[in-house]
A and B are shown apart, each in its own frame.
Chain A
Amino acid sequence: MRWEDIVAEIAAQGGYTPNLHPKALKELEGILQRNASTAKMVAAAIIKLCKNPLPHDMGGVGNRLGKRNETGDLRPLLYVKLRDIGIRIVYALSHAVNDKDRNRIDKTVTIVVISKREDMEAYLDALRRKADLPADWPEEWIK
């Protein structure tokens, strides 16, 4: 099975198409260089979260990021933390009307940060990168 087939299968099952922010890709590359098995677990985690990336209160696996004095407004970004490994994956969701087929909605997960660092550093990175994302997230996610 190729990566393209895996992504297509997630979408066919009603999941979200994963993308990476260029800096998140750099972070994953760094993890891969230090520990290949951890990088593979992160890749597996991205596949798993794309199947149901919505926040917990909407039946998904994501934790909402909110407003903090220290980090600013991170809404509507979400995160998951991998058990035992301790790596946080911060991501954004978007729904956009397909350019070619106006009846189709493209659902995407954009991985913004992949980090094992302390909360605050990871979230400050997330805040900086939030501005790189399209503002097409549904209103109900902005709580």
Chain B
Amino acid sequence: MAGVVPMEKQELFSALRRVFNVTEYNRGKLGEAVKTHEECGQGNWFFVQSSKGITSAIIPFKELEQLVEASELLERLMNAFLYRETIARLGASEGKIGFAEAMSRLGIDPQEVTSLVESVEFE
């Protein structure tokens, strides 16, 4: 299947990339999946993964056209969806770790570290 997105689709393609945070790495695969999807006339979402391990969600153009106007809302919803999915995958105990707990786990001495804070310089 050709991995080419027709010119008239470029605008929608850009919107799709913006909404779903698609990178150049999987652009070829994205084009391929979109074309395949169009030909199949499916209404379901596609999920493709690039060689870099970046997963993208793809929806059909007809649905996308209606959704592009609400892309900001959609992006936030997508972030929330991904977050929930990740938390479920990681399990509550493996989510974010509090700094105090992390430092205790690593056995780093707090007195020693606090004495270094003033000497830290950022570029």
Contacts and interface: CB of A to CB of B under 8 A. Distances in A.
Contacts of A20: 96-99, 102
Contacts of A110: 96
Interface in B6-55: 18, 21-25, 52-54
B120 A25 contact: no
A12 interface: no
B62 to A, nearest CB: 25
A80 B123 CA distance: 7
Contact of B122 (A1, A81, A127, A132): A81
B96 A44 contact: no
Contacts of A97: none
A70 B108 contact: no
B2 interface: no
Contact of A18 (B23, B99, B108, B122): B99
A133 interface: yes
B100 interface: yes
Interface string B52-73: 1110000000000000000000
A19 B98 contact: yes
Contact of B121 (A71, A83, A131): A83
Chain B interface size, as a band, is 35 or more
Contacts of B113: 40, 43-44, 47
Interface string A66-90: 0001111100000011111000000
Contacts of A44: 113-114, 116-117, 119-120
A48 B117 contact: yes
A73 B98 contact: no
Contacts of B100: 2-4, 6-7
Given A2-B110, A40-B108, A19 B83 contact: no
Interface of B: 18, 21-25, 52-54, 76, 79-80, 82-83, 86, 90, 94-106, 108-114, 116-117, 119-123
Interface of A: 1-4, 6-7, 17-22, 25, 28-29, 32, 39-41, 43-49, 61, 69-73, 80-84, 110, 124, 127-128, 131-135
21 contacts: A1-B114, A6-B114, A19-B99, A20-B96, A22-B90, A32-B108, A40-B112, A40-B116, A43-B113, A43-B116, A44-B117, A48-B117, A49-B122, A70-B25, A72-B23, A72-B24, A72-B25, A83-B122, A133-B79, A134-B79, A134-B80
